[in-house]
Amino acid sequence: MNVLYVCHRFPFPPKRGGKIRPFNMIRHFAASGHDVTVCALVRSSEEAREGQGIAPYCARFEMAQVSNPVQALRMVARLPTPVPSSMGFFYSPDLARAIDRQLQARRFDLVFVHCSSVAQYVRHVTGVPKILDFGDMDSQKWLEYASYKPFPLSLGYRLEGWKLEREERRLAADFDLCTATTRAEWETLKGYGVDVATDWFPNGVDAEYFKPDGQGYDQDLLSFVGRMD
């Protein structure tokens, strides 16, 4: 099966949440014998260099490098429009052209998108099964931020949350299956009432990597790993 995989952060090396989930999906596709084409953004030359390491896990990949100041301007440009600013932050004409180039070069059996912010690149694609893995329902995070951000900043967060919620509903209708990471996120997705199949699957642990090495350990020591911001 030929799979086009689009995600908002280049999924290698898998050293943060936005990279770990998509990387393991891609690795699973490849291990199952599928031909995977990965298309994603990078935000620095270093990230682009590190990203080359994904080569053993996919048939081909496309990177589009963007700079945060330019992406911030794209966010601001969308403030007076119905389009969520988040969509501007993750939009790149170069990535759009790269994805269109891949779509013209080969026939895909599946288009898989991780994160709603990059669903915009393939929403026009028809005749191919499409899956949108929302991961988080981003609109709900913005609406939550609005509840404790000071005024008038809270208004901006609430506006973005409303715009994203409307966009999430519209995007869901453009795909054949939509998924989320947690049951709570899935319930939000189901609550949109869109006539499309939905489901949820949690993040897991790489049990082949994180396994006892047969040596001693401190049974009273607990390690908690994550981003605290």
Task: Give the tens place of pLDDT for each residue, 155-200.
Answer: 999 999 999 999 999 999 999 999 999 999 999 999 998 889 999 9
Beta strands 110-114 and 60-65, pairing class: unpaired
Polymer length in residues for the chain: 229
**CATH class of the 2-200 domain in this structure:** alpha beta
What is the per-residue pLDDT for 20? 93
- Euclidean distance between the first and the last CA atom of the chain, given in angstroms as a whole number: 39
Residue 102, Ramachandran bin (φ over 0: left; ψ between -120 and 50: alpha; else beta): alpha
To which residue do tokens 């939509």 refer?
178
**What is the dihedral sign for C-alpha 9, 10, 16, 20?**
positive
What is the per-residue pLDDT for 223? 83
- Per residue of the chain (229 residues), what is the pLDDT tens digit? 999 999 999 999 998 878 999 999 999 999 999 999 999 999 999 999 999 999 999 999 999 999 999 999 999 999 999 999 999 999 999 999 999 999 999 999 999 999 999 999 999 999 999 999 999 999 999 999 999 888 888 999 999 999 999 999 999 999 999 999 999 999 999 999 888 999 999 998 888 888 888 888 888 998 887 777 6
Rounded to 5°, angle at Cα 18 from 15 and 21: 85
CA 101 vs CA 91, 128, 136: distances in Å: 16, 16, 29
**What is the dihedral sign for C-alpha 89, 91, 93, 94?**
positive
What is the per-residue pLDDT for 2? 96
What is the per-residue pLDDT for 152? 87
Q: Which run of H or of E encompasses 179?
A: strand 177-180
Measured distance CA(153)–CA(141) in Å, rounded: 15
What is the per-residue pLDDT for 172? 94
What is the per-residue pLDDT for 198? 95
To which residue do tokens 């998509």 refer?
22
Domain spans in the chain, listed from the N-terminal domain onward: 2-200
Measured distance CA(219)–CA(221) in Å, rounded: 6
